[in-house]
């Protein structure tokens, strides 16, 4: 008997006593009809309300059962209701449509999932406009509930509602509730999808944190395979990179001058904020990737590099966030905009990029990195590897301890710090740095799904834990690596926001930068993109779970397609913010917007993010492979490994999952393409631009000959 529940949940009580006979049975479970609701009862005692008719009068007018799929046509006072339910590979898929017989407001709907178990733990649920899911467990079982919110497009568009915060609830009343209609009704006679969900159950509740992270990824991947997914489009990134590079170098909106040096602004036309070292390095590193890929040397890189030593504070023995010469000009309108205030991750991120440059032989970067590493260790010891949000650089006094009361500080910084220590160890081979990495890593244990503070930091932590596992062979580090990944994949947007302004750009599989951020952001996304590429390459020789390889490869594939829409010239001018929070938005400038918003909000409300300029410079070197002495490149929107050229043949491994297709292309640069053969054989076609395109599957070896 359910206790302490609403009247809507109380109506499900009789389903759990076994005294009521179902009207239909299948692999999906038992179907029960009440006067005002149609229910599905699963084997693990979850009651799912498939249809709801306030006031009663719900009847079945037609049904069809075929291949373990049940379809029902129903009548209710408000109109016709259509329900389907089926099971594919143990995933139950349920869908409900309504056709109102009058213009109809829906001011309230109850949660659609009731759990019989008295106690259960919700590990993940929707925040903002993230995926509409719940991952939960009881003593006997676990399950993942998922709503494909993109299916509600017509409902959201006509009622001008958002799909933010529609999946959630409090045990035992959880699941999905329709966005409440206020000003605009559903239209008479028009058919609307009002639920398109999936549920996958397991009779194995997670026994510990590691099992929880692994199970979440496995359940999510299994449901992901059942989702309808739009095909990706080829975006001409070599052309885009040229436009972005031109504007980055030549447009004065991107630059400020301090003394004899030029510095990148954080945002276009933001001349009030002093230069930040993180901004300089966040652009410099992707440019370095681009040069190593085979581009010509860029004078802009020397310009950025020449300005870096000015950030070093000899007294403290560390780099500073703000340029010391102009830091005192800040007015302190935000907590961190004060000369000696450090945001914990802002110290470590520049050190990570300096270490990368140092390992490539850059002596200036090496000097700055090794000259600052002692201070970073001092701070780590002071806070016992648990960093606050803000602290004072001189006194180390905590200025802001927690992100929100009771939620702790920047919990993923131990992973970022461990990454830096591993870089220092690789550079110097001094054992103390490896020891520091191990100590910091242990602070990630026990954080569960609260580990994530900022997406790029969490992804760097995933890679650091994988490196520690390869070095030590201790399972705890591999488990922590997967925990970091699970935290990333709880913060994605696995649906297409195709209402309002969202109709103008793809948003499937976007990633949010912070736990509670209302928008997705280019800088964090491009850094996660690069980190996950590195993760797959680092995992060579390790048998990753299929769910991990699938979800990583799919995130990369969709980012390569949709991240071009962070650039204002790709968007209608009317959906761009008129007055961003910082600087200005130039609709013709090929500098990415920081933010893509929910469909009812304008994009670029934060600003045009110069330090997100690395987006294109990260994509091209990882997805385009040059062929020496030929005017074509090989492109794939899945990650590749072991790319080799032997005479007139290129061989490589396509990573990812063999159950999903991706694009493999021969991209012409100048002349007409020669004839090609591909093994295994795949059908190819010529694109309108003269490229050759193949549809291939992941997880296989391929040879392309010409």
Convert 345-356 into a string of H (helix), E (strand) and C (coil).
HHHHHHHHHHHH
Residue 672 lies in a domain: yes
Buried b (16+ CB within 10 A) or exposed e, 298-332: bebeebbbebbebbbbeeeebbbbbbeebbeebee
CB atoms inside a 10 Å sphere around CB 574: 10
Whether the predicted pLDDT of 47 surpasses 70 = yes
Using CA atoms, how far residue 6 sits from 114, 166, 394, 484, 693, in Å, is 11, 18, 55, 37, 56
Percent of residues, the chain, with pLDDT higher than 70: 100
Using CA atoms, how far residue 687 sits from 423, 562, 694, in Å, is 43, 19, 10
Query: What number is the average pLDDT over the span 265-284?
Result: 97
Residue 155 lies in a domain: yes
Pick from 175, 200, 224: which residue ends a domain?
A: 224
Q: Which residues, 6+ apart, have CB-to-CB distance to 470 below 8 Å?
A: 538, 542
Buried b (16+ CB within 10 A) or exposed e, 498-529: bbbbbeebbbbbbbbbebebebbbbbbbbbbb
Intra-chain end-to-end CA distance of the chain, in Å: 70
Percent of residues, the chain, with pLDDT higher than 90: 92
**Among 159, 51, 149, which residue's Cα sits nearest to residue 106?**
159
Helix (H, G, I), strand (E, B) or coil at 663: strand
- Is there a contact between 662 and 654 (Cβ–Cβ < 8 Å)? yes
* 3-state DSSP of 439-499: HHHHCCCCCHHHCCCEHHHHHHHHHHHHHHHHHHCCHHHHHHHHHHHHHHHCCEECCCCCC
Residue 632 lies in a domain: yes
Q: What is the pLDDT of residues 185-243, one digit of tens each?
A: 999 999 999 999 999 999 999 999 999 999 999 999 999 999 999 999 999 999 999 99
- Is there a contact between 125 and 165 (Cβ–Cβ < 8 Å)? no
The model's confidence at residue 1, banded by pLDDT at 50, 70 and 90, is low
Residue 444 lies in a domain: no
Residue 326 lies in a domain: no
Whether the predicted pLDDT of 315 surpasses 80 = yes
DSSP code at position 267: B
Q: What is the pLDDT of residues 98-128, one digit of tens each?
A: 999 999 999 999 999 999 998 999 999 999 9
Whether the predicted pLDDT of 131 surpasses 90 = yes
Give pLDDT, residue 9: 87
Residue 368 lies in a domain: no
629: region left, alpha or beta (phi > 0 left; psi from -120 to 50 alpha) = left
Place of tokens 């005692």: 45
Helix (H, G, I), strand (E, B) or coil at 393: coil
Q: What is the pLDDT of residues 152-177, one digit of tens each?
A: 999 999 999 999 999 999 999 999 99
Here the CATH number for the domain that contains residue 21 is 2.70.98
Pairing of strands 113-115, 255-258: unpaired
DSSP code at position 606: S
- The residue segments making up the domain with residue 675 are 627-705
Helix (H, G, I), strand (E, B) or coil at 620: helix
Average pLDDT over all residues of the chain: 96
**Among 76, 17, 11, 79, which residue's Cα sits nearest to residue 49?**
11
Pick from 203, 224, 245: which residue ends a domain?
A: 224
Residue 475 lies in a domain: no
- Is there a contact between 508 and 150 (Cβ–Cβ < 8 Å)? yes
Q: If 0-12 CB within 10 Å is exposed, 13-18 middle and 19+ buried, where does residue 611 land?
A: buried
Pick from 168, 199, 224: which residue ends a domain?
A: 224
Query: What number is the average pLDDT over the span 343-353?
Result: 97
Using CA atoms, how far residue 413 sits from 20, 349, 354, 388, 452, in Å, is 53, 10, 17, 9, 9
Residue 280 lies in a domain: no
- Is there a contact between 37 and 11 (Cβ–Cβ < 8 Å)? yes
Total count of domains within the chain: 2
- Is there a contact between 72 and 82 (Cβ–Cβ < 8 Å)? yes
Q: What are the residues facing 514 on neighbouring strands?
A: 454
């Amino acid at each position: 008997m359910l206790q302490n529940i609403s009247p809507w949940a109380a109506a499900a009580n009789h389903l759990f006593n076994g005294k009521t006979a179902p009207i239909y049975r299948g692999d999906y479970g038992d179907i029960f009809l009440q006067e005002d609701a149609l229910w599905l009862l699963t084997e693990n005692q979850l009651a799912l309300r498939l249809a709801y008719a306030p006031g009663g009068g719900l009847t079945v007018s037609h049904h069809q059962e075929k291949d373990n799929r049940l379809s029902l046509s129903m009548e209710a006072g408000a109109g016709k209701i259509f329900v389907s339910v089926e099971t594919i590979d143990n995933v139950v898929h349920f869908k409900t449509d309504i056709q109102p017989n009058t213009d109809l407001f829906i001011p309230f709907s109850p949660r659609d999932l009731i759990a019989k178990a008295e106690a259960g733990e919700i590990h993940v649920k929707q925040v903002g406009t993230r995926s509409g899911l719940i991952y939960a467990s009881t003593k006997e079982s676990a399950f993942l509930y998922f709503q494909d919110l993109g299916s509600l497009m017509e409902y959201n568009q006509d009622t001008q509602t958002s799909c933010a915060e529609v999946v959630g609830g409090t045990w035992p009343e959880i699941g999905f509730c329709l966005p409440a209609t206020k000003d605009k009704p559903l239209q008479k006679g028009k058919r609307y999808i009002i639920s398109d969900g999936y549920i996958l159950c397991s009779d194995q509740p997670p026994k510990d944190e590691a099992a929880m992270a692994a199970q979440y990824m496995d359940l999510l991947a299994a449901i992901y395979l059942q989702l309808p997914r739009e095909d990706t489009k080829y975006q001409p990134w070599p052309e885009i990179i040229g436009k972005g590079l031109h504007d980055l170098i030549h447009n004065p909106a991107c630059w400020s001058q301090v003394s004899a040096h030029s510095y990148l602004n954080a945002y276009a036309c933001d001349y009030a904020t002093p230069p930040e070292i993180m901004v300089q390095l966040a652009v410099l590193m992707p440019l370095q990737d681009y040069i190593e890929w085979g581009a010509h040397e860029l004078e802009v890189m020397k310009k950025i590099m020449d300005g870096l030593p000015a950030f070093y504070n000899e007294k403290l023995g560390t780099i500073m966030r703000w340029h010391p010469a102009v830091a005192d000009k800040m007015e302190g309108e935000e907590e961190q905009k004060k000369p000696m205030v450090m945001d914990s991750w802002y110290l470590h991120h520049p050190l990570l990029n300096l270490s990368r440059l140092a390992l490539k032989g850059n002596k200036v970067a090496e000097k700055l990195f090794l000259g600052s590493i002692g201070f970073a260790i001092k701070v780590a010891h002071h806070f016992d590897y648990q960093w606050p949000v803000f602290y004072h650089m001189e006194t180390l006094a905590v200025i802001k301890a927690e992100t929100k009361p009771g939620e702790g500080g920047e919990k993923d910084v131990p992973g970022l710090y461990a990454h830096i220590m591993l870089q220092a160890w690789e550079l110097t081979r001094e054992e103390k740095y490896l020891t520091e990495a191990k100590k910091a890593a242990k602070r990630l244990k026990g954080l569960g799904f609260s580990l994530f503070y900022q997406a790029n930091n969490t992804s760097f932590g995933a890679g650091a834990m994988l490196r520690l596992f390869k070095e030590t062979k201790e399972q705890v580090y591999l488990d922590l690596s997967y925990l970091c990944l699970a935290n990333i994949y709880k913060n994605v947007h696995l649906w297409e926001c195709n209402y309002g302004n969202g109709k103008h750009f793809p948003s499937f599989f976007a990633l949010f930068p912070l736990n509670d951020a209302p928008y997705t952001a280019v800088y964090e996304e491009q850094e996660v993109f690069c980190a996950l590429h590195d993760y797959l390459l680092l995992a060579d020789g390790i048998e990753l779970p299929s769910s991990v390889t699938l979800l990583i490869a799919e995130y990369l594939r969709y980012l390569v397609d949709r991240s071009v829409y962070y650039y204002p010239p790709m968007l209608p001018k009317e959906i761009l913010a008129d007055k961003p929070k910082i600087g200005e938005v130039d609709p013709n400038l090929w500098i990415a917007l920081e933010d893509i918003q929910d469909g009812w909000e304008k994009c670029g409300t934060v600003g045009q993010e110069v330090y997100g300029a690395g987006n294109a410079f990260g994509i091209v070197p990882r997805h385009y492979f040059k062929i020496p002495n030929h005017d074509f490149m090989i492109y794939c929107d899945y990650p590749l490994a072991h790319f080799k050229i032997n005479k007139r043949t290129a061989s490589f491994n396509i990573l990812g999952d063999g159950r999903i297709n991706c694009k493999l292309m021969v991209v012409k640069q100048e002349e007409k393409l020669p004839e090609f053969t591909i093994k295994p054989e795949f059908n190819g076609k010529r694109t309108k631009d003269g490229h050759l395109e193949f549809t291939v599957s992941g997880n296989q070896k391929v040879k392309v000959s010409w």
